[in-house]
C-alpha cells in the first residue's frame, strides 16, 4: 500500500465536471493498493494518517493531528502510485492490485477514516480532476507492504 498525503487548506475532486467530493482544512490522501494489501495495511494507514502531528500549535511547532484541528480527509484512488518506471519509457502497473481488490481496500480505508473524521472520496476507477491548495506545501509519502 502506498499513500501520498498532502496537508491542504481546501481540496476537491471532480468527475466529468461535477464535484463529487470537497473538504476544507485537512488531508488529501492519494491511495495506491497492492495485490497483497489487506487488513494489516488498512489498520496501519488509518492509524498513521490520523495520528500524524503535522499541524502547528500557537508556537509554530508541529504538534496537532487531524482530529485535534477538526480536519477532514479527501481520499482518492490512484493506482499509478504503484507504477514501475525502472525500465523503458512506459510505466508498468503490474504491481497494482486488481480493480476488484483495490476497490474493496479503498472502500474499507474510507470507512476506517470515516469512523474518526469527516471523509469525502473521489469515484473509484473514474478519470478524476483533483484541485487543492497545499498547505506548506506539506506532502508525505507513506508505504507499508504486506509482510
Cβ atoms within 10 A of the Cβ of 66, count?
25
> CB of 12 within 8 A of CB of 22?
yes
pLDDT attached to residue 82: 93
Supply the mean pLDDT for the chain.
Answer: 96
Using pLDDT thresholds of 50, 70 and 90, give the confidence band for residue 147: low
* Active site positions, annotated: 78-80
Residue 145: predicted pLDDT: 84
pLDDT at position 112: 98
Query: Check: CATH 3.50.80.10 for 2-137?
Result: yes
Instruction: Please state the domain extents for the chain.
Output: 2-137
**pTM of the predicted model as reported, rounded to 2 decimal places:** 0.94
Distances in Å between the alpha carbon of 65 and those of 7, 27, 30, 124? Answer: 11, 11, 18, 27
Instruction: Give buried/exposed letters for 18-39 (b at 16+ CB in 10 A, else e).
Output: eeebebebbbbbbbbbbeebbe
Cell 482518492 belongs to residue: 76
Amino acid at each position: 500500500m502506498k499513500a501520498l498525503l498532502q496537508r491542504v487548506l481546501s481540496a476537491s475532486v471532480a468527475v466529468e465536471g461535477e464535484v463529487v467530493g470537497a473538504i476544507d482544512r485537512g488531508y488529501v490522501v492519494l491511495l495506491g493498493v497492492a495485490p497483497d494489501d489487506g487488513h494489516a495495511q488498512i489498520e496501519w494507514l488509518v492509524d498513521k494518517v490520523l495520528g500524524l502531528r503535522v499541524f502547528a500549535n500557537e508556537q509554530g511547532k508541529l504538534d496537532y493531528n487531524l482530529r485535534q484541528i477538526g480536519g477532514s480527509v479527501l481520499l482518492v484512488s490512484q493506482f499509478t502510485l504503484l507504477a514501475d518506471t525502472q525500465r523503458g519509457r512506459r510505466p508498468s502497473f503490474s504491481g497494482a492490485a486488481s480493480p476488484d481488490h483495490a476497490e474493496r481496500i479503498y472502500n474499507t480505508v474510507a470507512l476506517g477514516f470515516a469512523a474518526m473524521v469527516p471523509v469525502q472520496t473521489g469515484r473509484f476507477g473514474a478519470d478524476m480532476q483533483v484541485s487543492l491548495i497545499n498547505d506548506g506545501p506539506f506532502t508525505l509519502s507513506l508505504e507499508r507492504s504486506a509482510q
